[in-house]
């Protein structure tokens, strides 16, 4: 599944390839791809045809492209890809939405094998589309304010990992990045948020930003100049993980075997030495 760093790579690719280009035709090839656009596929096509793509922004795993005052909002879901390429290449069966441009240059195809991804057209959404206004900024966004997050974390009274995964507090931090950031910050996932002091919160936020930035750099290397592509895999996953998915293997810092705990139907990985379990745990 594409995580924030992969989505940011796609955002940069789109900015490079489609910003400033006038849309010629829009074809919805599978209605499920525009299921959140309640007025339906033909309305979606008509709203976008003739418009010009402006800025490309991202919040968490959502992307939006401004079209005048409005926006094209997209989520890649589990397997979505946005591909830019020669318009004459064959149309494969997983293409869900197809955009061509008036300059007859490279086209844009939303391809999605599992169809969990979606697109919709949001009137007046250029600044911030209403359907995602409830999602908190992510740490790589200019709108992110560490002071606001620190205050809200302390008020939350929950476990720190649960808080990191809560999109209304901070977006874009998936299970993997949460575990890696907590390990770097030396914090156990079940630490009650109200017991974190200012230094610990700053250390954690620095670790989250660092992990996301490193993953972005790694993910960015697979980016080709012609294709805007995301497969949900990035080189980061193989190379740099300290604890995630490494049960029983030595902690890179102290050599203690990594521990796995069940957490929200998934797992939480920690080093029992670097991330001592709190006396009062919350999850
Ligand atoms: Zn350790």
What pLDDT digit, counting tens, does each position of 74-109 carry? 998 887 888 888 999 999 899 999 999 999 999 999
DSSP letter, residue 140: T
pLDDT tens digits, residue range 127-149? 999 999 999 998 888 889 999 99
pLDDT at 249: 96
CA distance 105 to 221: 25
pLDDT at 231: 38
Contact by Cβ (8 Å): 254, 271: yes
pLDDT at 223: 38
| Averaged pLDDT, 194-198 | 90
Whether 3 is catalytic is yes
SS3 148: helix
Q: Which of 59, 61, 162, 259 is catalytic?
A: 61
CA distance 85 to 93: 16
CA-nearest of 175, 174, 173, 2 to 80 is: 2
Q: How far is the CA of 276 from the centre of ligand 1 (A)?
A: 10
Q: 10 Å Cβ neighbour count for 221? A: 10
pLDDT band at 238; cut points 50, 70, 90: low
Confidence check: pLDDT of 239 > 60: no
Q: How far is the CA of 3 from the centre of ligand 1 (A)?
A: 26
Q: Please give the model's pTM, rounded to 2 decimal places.
A: 0.81
Share of the chain above pLDDT 70, in %: 92
| Averaged pLDDT, 217-229 | 48
CA-nearest of 1, 4, 2 to 214 is: 4
Which H helix or E strand runs over 182?
A: helix 175-185
pLDDT band at 228; cut points 50, 70, 90: very low
Q: Which of 2, 106, 129, 139 is catalytic?
A: 2
Q: How far is the CA of 4 from the centre of ligand 1 (A)?
A: 26
CA distance 90 to 228: 17
- How much is the mean pLDDT over the chain? 89
Q: How far is the CA of 115 from the centre of ligand 1 (A)?
A: 40
Q: How far is the CA of 253 from the centre of ligand 1 (A)?
A: 5
Q: How far is the CA of 238 from the centre of ligand 1 (A)?
A: 19
pLDDT at 219: 61
Q: What are the residues whose beta carbons fall under 8 Å from the beta carbon of 62, sequence distance 6 or more?
A: 7, 73, 74, 75, 129, 132, 135
| Averaged pLDDT, 196-225 | 78
pLDDT at 235: 43
Q: Which of 90, 142, 266, 279 is catalytic?
A: 266
Q: How far is the CA of 164 from the centre of ligand 1 (A)?
A: 21
pLDDT tens digits, residue range 22-35? 999 999 999 999 99
């Amino acid at each position: 599944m594409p995580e924030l760093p992969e989505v940011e790579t796609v955002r940069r690719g789109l900015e490079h390839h489609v910003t400033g280009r006038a849309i010629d035709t829009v074809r919805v090839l599978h209605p499920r791809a525009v299921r959140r656009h309640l007025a339906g596929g033909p309305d979606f096509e008509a709203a976008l045809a003739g418009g010009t793509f402006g800025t490309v922004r991202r919040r968490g795993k959502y992307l939006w492209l401004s079209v005048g005052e409005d926006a094209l909002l997209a989520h890649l879901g589990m397997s979505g890809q946005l591909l830019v390429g020669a318009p004459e290449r064959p149309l494969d069966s997983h293409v869900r939405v197809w955009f061509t441009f008036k300059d007859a240059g490279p086209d844009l195809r939303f391809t999605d094998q599992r169809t969990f991804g979606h697109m919709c057209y949001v009137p007046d959404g250029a600044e911030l589309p209403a359907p995602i206004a409830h999602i908190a900024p992510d740490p790589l966004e200019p709108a992110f304010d560490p002071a606001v997050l620190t205050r809200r974390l302390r008020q939350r009274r929950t476990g720190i990992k649960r808080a990191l995964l809560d999109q209304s507090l901070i977006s874009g931090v998936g299970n993997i990045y949460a575990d890696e950031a907590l390990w770097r910050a030396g914090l156990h996932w079940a630490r009650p948020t109200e017991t974190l002091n200012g230094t610990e919160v700053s250390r954690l936020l620095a670790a989250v930003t660092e992990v996301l930035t490193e993953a972005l750099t790694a993910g960015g290397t697979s980016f080709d100049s012609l294709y805007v592509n995301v497969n949900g895999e990035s080189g980061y996953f193989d190379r740099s993980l300290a604890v995630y998915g490494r049960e029983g293997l030595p902690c890179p810092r102290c050599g203690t075997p990594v521990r796995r705990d069940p957490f929200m139907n998934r797992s939480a990985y920690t080093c029992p030495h670097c991330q001592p379990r709190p006396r009062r745990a919350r999850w």
